[in-house]
Amino acid sequence: MESALTARDRVGVQDFVLLENFTSEAAFIENLRKRFKENLIYTYIGSVLVSVNPYKELEIYTKQNMERYRGVSFYEVSPHLYAIADNSYRSLRTERKDQCILISGESGAGKTEATKKILQYYAVTCPASQQVETVKDRLLQSNPVLEAFGNAKTLRNDNSSRFGKYMDVQFDYRGAPVGGHILNYLLEKSRVVHQNHGERNFHIFYQLLEGGEEDLLRRLGLEKNPQQYHYLVKGHCARVSSINDKNEWKIMRRALSVISFNDSEDLLSIVASVLHLGNVQFAADEQGNAQVTTENQIKYLARLLAVDGSVLRDALIHKKIIAKGEELVSPLNLEQAAYARDALAKAIYGRTFSWLVNKVNKSLAYKASDPLTTVLGLLDIYGFEVFQHNSFEQFCINYCNEKLQQLFIELTLKSEQEEYESEGIAWEPVQYFNNKIICDLVEEKFKGIISILDEECLRPGDATDMTFLEKLEETVKNHPHFLTHKLADQKTRKSLGREEFRLSHYAGDVTYSVAGFLDKNNDLLFRNLKETMCNSENPIINQCFDRTELTDKKRPETAATQFKNSLSKLMEILMSKEPSYIRCMKPNDAKQADRFDEVLIRHQVKYLGLMENLRVRRAGFAYRRKYEVFLQRYKSLCPETWPTWDGRPYDGVAVLVKHLGYKPEEYKMGRTKIFIRFPKTLFATEDALEVRKQSLGEALTLAVDFCLKSTKMQATWRGFYRRKKFLTMKRSGMRDTEREMFPQQLPQFIKGFIYRNHPRCPENEYFLDYIRFSFLMNLKRNLPKNVLDKSWPTPPPSLCEASQLLRRLCMQNMVWTYCKRISPEWKQQLEQKVIASEIFKGKKDNYPQSVPRLFINTRLGEFLEKVQQEFYIVLSL
């Protein structure tokens, strides 16, 4: 936020809590729009990150940018995914508490991209080793595989995830990623057999046809042309310019090999079998019973699924029921046979997808039993969905969002409340809409919608979608969040069909059509088809269809109940972790860059509950900071606290705010933090700091110039160099030419570095604190145990002391780490020069890590010590 304060006028506020008019939706949207126009797609609401999909590549995901966010205090840098990622990672490391990042938003808002970018951030910035590299690769490579099988082109997103995903990344005691685990939720199986106009089936089908080698396609009995397959023509959308199936196929195949996948031929046989299944056709005989007319398909299916062809043919046109221990087989009519075929296709695909997730999990599993691992979870799950026609899937998805909202409100309010309590600050708890009432309406035992739906699915007799609706009307008719055509008053009735019900969700009203609810909830596969699959010799099918299903007397769980149970487990997982939130939004429906559709944004602000979120965050105070941090930033504004304050930070802040003329109603002093009620108080302080910094900046310029030019320093440098030259040369075995290179090169680097980060340079806003912070962090990390005991957890109070400590310990290597953190390019440039030199003959392998490092360290160490001594006042600005 501190960096946000400086940039506030140009680009709106970087944190919505600083909006003066925080209850105004228009002001909220205007702030988003202003920032979006400047390609500033991230904005905070406190610690929640709001992201607007730019629909274009921005230069904000580079390695340099990752370094910028690494180990840096959340508030010091501009809002970014990396700040959230880094903050969670640091809490994980320092507090050893499991974390989770919840990413939500509607389809196409950028959830999956955000998840991938966070994973990449960890892959680049976390400690590495050979084993860790393998895990990182697998974590990253699991994506193309799961996307091929679980993503599809929809009207809203060309690469839409059609399942919910929760991914745990496990870190060892060093903070290196060592394993992972994925949980998947509610794959949209209906897409296998049907797609809306303009949409496609799952990517894998097109990838296989487009990219599969001829030999492979021949073995699978497939033709290259997607138009040949009934399951691929429903959406009339085989080719899409933004999707390169051939390329994606290659990426997917490579990814399969990284996650040690040896059964790809069996897997692809299953994919092909679904396509063949879609082409199985029926004709009615004289009695109206269905007969298979496409023998060829049965032949392929028998081979690919490794089942008996005639048994499969029979199973597709008959229904077997076991009643009172007796088997009853009855023929199916055309409609029933088509239903059975599609149910089989969905079951095969859905179960294979779950099998695939398991397979990925096996490859990601961390085998060592290590009690010190910590976990960071990433939840990339569907946001609220409101279409013109909402069906069973939207009902489940919106129910999931109700649960997540409940968790969010509970945790956010809880943490706000806890903070005020622990700080001893009086606070009126904020009133908010508790959506428990809606969650109960959906999930309550016996009386909830899911229970009533299950009851209809499982009861004997002729249950239909309409009888389900009637039961609903009977049971929950008085519920304030439930409405049907029959229950509505005359005015509202017009907007409701007879087969519809409406739920007043926390985010708004959604009308659902009951058509298909029973079928989808039952997810029924006839027994004889199940038996046939259980006898399959395809090892994957064999694992997907377990024989115990046939003997199990218990009725299988319905789809809604399965979903409800898995959500309840998910809530438990999330509750046990410390959450961070990313709220994604899409700026327009046309997937276009630089287009900000205000109506669409307003809709999302509402459905993501952002105004409510801001209201809760602003209910008390707009800004709060630890006394140390506040004093550090603003101490130069008061003669008594500048340049150093020797007393308690609490007293220092008290003196400072008195000097600044804060009125009592503008702030409160807690136990460890100051709380400022209004943004304007903070802005005024910030403006004063700006003025002050300018004069200090000029002083610093002079000082830096003086230092760099001073003969004293050059003499020290030369003296130091001479003293160490002989020794270093001996150790490193360097020749004359190499020796000469460093003293000339190094000051240049340093000079450039100092100037680049000089207060007049626009980037310098965060720099000085960054130096301090990383210096202390390194100190903490690198100090030997016995020293740590004495000086830690209380960090050295000033840089000057830290610097003395450093000198006393002669920890030159630490200085090296310090330099490396600030500017990785230094290290690279210097090392490359050394590697390229004659001694190491251009080969990295010949390059002994320790020798040139020592050589470089001594120089940088000496120099930095000088800088720290001379500029400690400025550095602790």
CB of 251 to ligand ATP, least distance (A): 14
CB of 384 to ligand ATP, least distance (A): 11
Residue 108 marked ligand-binding: yes
CB of 697 to ligand ATP, least distance (A): 35
CB of 117 to ligand ATP, least distance (A): 7
Q: Which is nearer to ligand ATP, 105 or 226 (CB)?
A: 105
517 binds ligand ATP (CB under 6 A): no
Q: Which pairing describes strands 500-505 and 482-484: parallel, antiparallel, or unpaired?
A: antiparallel
Stretch that binds ligand ATP, among 69-77, 152-160, 198-206, 643-651 (CB under 6 A): 152-160
Side chain identity at 52, as an amino acid letter?
V
294 binds ligand ATP (CB under 6 A): no
Contacts for 702 with CB less than 8 Å, ≥ 6 apart: none
Contacts for 675 with CB less than 8 Å, ≥ 6 apart: 423, 425, 620, 621, 623, 624, 667, 668, 669
- Of 221, 377, 383, 609, which residue is the catalytic one? 383
Q: Which is nearer to ligand ATP, 111 or 502 (CB)?
A: 111
Are residues 351 and 544 in contact, defined by beta-carbon separation less than 8 angstroms? yes
Footprint (CB under 6 A) of ligand ATP, residues 43-102: 53-55, 57-58
- DSSP of 282-297: EEE-TTS-EEE--HHH
Q: Which is nearer to ligand ATP, 58 or 836 (CB)?
A: 58
Stretch that binds ligand ATP, among 155-163, 431-439, 486-494, 716-724 (CB under 6 A): 155-163
Residue 647 marked ligand-binding: no
Distance of CA 90 to the CA centre of its chain: 16
113 binds ligand ATP (CB under 6 A): yes
Beta bridge partners of 319: 330
Active site residue 383: yes
Q: CA-CA distance, 121 to 382, in Å (whole number)?
A: 23
Stretch that binds ligand ATP, among 154-162, 358-366, 562-570, 629-637 (CB under 6 A): 154-162
Residue 391 neighbours by CB distance under 10 Å: 17
String of contacts with ligand ATP for each residue 561-590, x by CB under 6 A: -----------------------x------
Three-state secondary structure call for residue 179 = strand
Q: Which pairing describes strands 326-331 and 374-380: parallel, antiparallel, or unpaired?
A: unpaired
CB of 157 to ligand ATP, least distance (A): 4
Beta bridge partners of 500: 513
Which tokens go with 552? 């199990």
Among 415, 410, 372, 400, which Cα is nearest to 98's? 372
- Of 31, 53, 115, 157, which residue is the catalytic one? 157
Residue 350 marked ligand-binding: no
Residue 294 marked ligand-binding: no
Active site residue 242: no
Q: CA-CA distance, 749 to 775, in Å (whole number)?
A: 19
CB of 596 to ligand ATP, least distance (A): 15
Contacts for 574 with CB less than 8 Å, ≥ 6 apart: 100, 102, 377, 379, 407
Among 234, 304, 243, 268, which Cα is nearest to 145's? 268
Q: Which is nearer to ligand ATP, 107 or 134 (CB)?
A: 107
CB of 160 to ligand ATP, least distance (A): 3
Active site residue 309: no
Q: CA-CA distance, 348 to 344, in Å (whole number)?
A: 6
111 binds ligand ATP (CB under 6 A): yes
Q: Which pairing describes strands 48-52 and 578-585: parallel, antiparallel, or unpaired?
A: parallel
The distance between the two most distant Cα atoms of the chain, rounded to a whole number of Å, is: 108
CB of 60 to ligand ATP, least distance (A): 8
Beta bridge partners of 582: 49, 103
Helical H segments across 499-544, by residue range: 517-522, 527-534, 539-544
Residue 663 marked ligand-binding: no
Among 66, 59, 185, which Cα is nearest to 118's? 66
**Count of residues engaged in binding ligand ATP, rule: CB under 6 A:** 19
Beta bridge partners of 185: 164
Residue 532 marked ligand-binding: no
- DSSP of 547-585: THHHH--SPPPPHHHHHHHHHHHHHHHHHTSEEEEEEEE
Of residues 43, 88, 99, 112, which one binds ligand ATP by CB under 6 A? 112
Q: CA-CA distance, 673 to 623, in Å (whole number)?
A: 10
Q: Which is nearer to ligand ATP, 55 or 642 (CB)?
A: 55
Beta bridge partners of 1: none
Residue 105 marked ligand-binding: yes
Three-state secondary structure call for residue 158 = coil
Q: CA-CA distance, 717 to 711, in Å (whole number)?
A: 10
- Of 142, 161, 536, 782, which residue is the catalytic one? 161
**What kind and span of H or E run contains 182?**
strand 177-185
String of contacts with ligand ATP for each residue 254-283, x by CB under 6 A: ------------------------------
Q: CA-CA distance, 268 to 647, in Å (whole number)?
A: 71
Of residues 121, 185, 382, 420, which one binds ligand ATP by CB under 6 A? 382
Beta bridge partners of 625: 674
Of residues 79, 105, 180, 861, which one binds ligand ATP by CB under 6 A? 105
Of residues 46, 108, 212, 796, which one binds ligand ATP by CB under 6 A? 108
Active site residue 51: no
Q: Which is nearer to ligand ATP, 58 or 321 (CB)?
A: 58
Q: Which is nearer to ligand ATP, 160 or 876 (CB)?
A: 160
Q: Which is nearer to ligand ATP, 58 or 283 (CB)?
A: 58
Residue 752 marked ligand-binding: no
Among 605, 472, 532, which Cα is nearest to 343's? 532
CB of 97 to ligand ATP, least distance (A): 27
Among 403, 738, 723, which Cα is nearest to 575's? 403
Of residues 109, 222, 476, 629, which one binds ligand ATP by CB under 6 A? 109
160 binds ligand ATP (CB under 6 A): yes
Footprint (CB under 6 A) of ligand ATP, residues 743-762: none
Q: CA-CA distance, 577 to 772, in Å (whole number)?
A: 30
Q: Which is nearer to ligand ATP, 162 or 633 (CB)?
A: 162
Active site residue 211: no
Q: CA-CA distance, 454 to 556, in Å (whole number)?
A: 11
203 binds ligand ATP (CB under 6 A): no
Instruction: Give the side-chain half-sphere CA count within 13 A for 35.
Output: 26
CB of 15 to ligand ATP, least distance (A): 20
Of residues 39, 107, 291, 804, which one binds ligand ATP by CB under 6 A? 107
164 binds ligand ATP (CB under 6 A): no
Q: CA-CA distance, 194 to 359, in Å (whole number)?
A: 27
157 binds ligand ATP (CB under 6 A): yes
Q: Which is nearer to ligand ATP, 381 or 622 (CB)?
A: 381
CB of 111 to ligand ATP, least distance (A): 4
Q: Which is nearer to ligand ATP, 584 or 779 (CB)?
A: 584
Stretch that binds ligand ATP, among 103-111, 255-263, 428-436, 635-643 (CB under 6 A): 103-111
150 binds ligand ATP (CB under 6 A): no
CA angle at residue 856 from 851 to 862, to 5 degrees? Answer: 130
- Of 107, 391, 701, 837, which residue is the catalytic one? 107
Active site residue 161: yes
Of residues 12, 79, 110, 221, which one binds ligand ATP by CB under 6 A? 110
Helical H segments across 286-391, by residue range: 295-305, 309-317, 334-364
Task: Please give the positions annotated as active site.
Answer: 107-108, 112, 157, 160-161, 383, 385
Binding-site residues from annotation for ATP: 105-112
Q: Which residues bind ligand ATP (CB under 6 A)?
A: 53-55, 57-58, 105, 107-113, 157, 159-161, 382, 584
Binding-site residues from annotation: 105-112
